[in-house]
Each structure stands twice: as C-alpha cells, then as structure tokens.
Amino acid sequence: MLGYELVLNRVYGYAQDMVAILVSIDDGDTWQSVDSSVLAEDKALTTWTDAIQIAEDNDVNLQGATPHTDYTQGTWGGNGLTFFRHH
C-alpha cells in the first residue's frame, strides 16, 4: 500500500510487479491501473496519508488474522500476508 486520499476515497498500491500503480475507489474490492501523475496529484492534497511501513521480520504482531494496532491506520490494517479494510 502506498497510501490513501480521504476525500476522494482512493487507495493506492503497487501491482505484483512492484512497478505499476493501482488505485481502488471501492475500499479495495476492485483495482485499476493509474498513471503516476494521478498519484502525484493526490499526494499533493492535504487529505493524503502515506501508508505506514511494515517491517519484513518475524514480528509476532504480524501473525494474527486481524491487524494489530501497530499496523493499522484509520480503517486500514495489515498482517504478515496482506492489507485490508477493517471495522
């Protein structure tokens, strides 16, 4: 995950190739490729939030089925396998 823009409800992430940029406007249900200029425009907004970094180590907090508070940001969170919207 790269981050999200709150007002437009856009979530950004990299595709599996770690080059192509994807955006979701439906809370991660579907994703579309997007030009980097669109990402740059959203990152310039005051409503942009960068994603938190999750270390690639054996942190026990990454092993749960639901995200640990260390790895949540707003209604988004991650564990050792993926990131997702939680409530």
- Quick one: tokens of 14? 């990299």
| Binned average pLDDT, 10 residues per bin, the chain of 87 residues | 90 90 91 96 95 70 68 67 57
pLDDT of residue 29: 87
| pLDDT at site 31 | 94
pLDDT of 52 reads 72
pTM here is 0.72
pLDDT at site 25: 93
Check residue 18 and give its pLDDT.
87
pLDDT at site 87: 52
Q: Where are the domains of the chain?
A: 1-51, 58-87
